[in-house]
């Protein structure tokens, strides 16, 4: 399991950067897909806080609450990359 976790963590910054691009282009469907991916994978590997944030992001995007979704994305970005 450790090799899979390592791969997930190594790829996570790229996923966050891809999410940044979807945010800039207002591609909410793609952003929701990334959130769904993170939610499932982070949950499988025991990253509960990240799972919860990704779940919240996905829900906000499905509800067209873009303002809240944007803030949650920023929280995820800070959590993963340590930057705002």
Q: Determine the structural domain holding residue 77 and report its residue range.
A: 2-81
> Which pLDDT tens digit goes with each residue over 41-78?
999 999 999 999 999 999 999 999 999 999 999 999 99
Q: State how many domains the chain has.
A: 1
| Banded model confidence at residue 38, pLDDT cuts 50, 70, 90 | very high
Write b or e for each residue in 18-56: b if 16 or more Cβ atoms lie within 10 A of its Cβ, otherwise e: ebeebbeeeebebbbbbbbebbebbeebebeebbebbbb
CATH of residue 41:
1.20.120.160
Sign of the CA dihedral with 50 first, then 55, 61, and 66 last: negative
| Contact indicator for 13, 76 with CB cutoff of 8 Å | no
């Amino acid at each position: 399991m450790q090799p899979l976790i390592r791969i997930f963590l190594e790829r996570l910054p790229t996923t966050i950067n891809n999410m940044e691009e979807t945010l800039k282009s207002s591609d909410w469907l793609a952003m929701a897909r990334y959130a769904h991916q993170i939610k499932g994978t982070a949950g499988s590997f025991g990253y509960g806080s990240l799972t919860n944030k990704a779940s919240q992001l996905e829900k906000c995007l499905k509800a067209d609450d873009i303002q809240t979704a944007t803030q949650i994305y920023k929280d995820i970005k800070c959590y993963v990359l340590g930057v705002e």
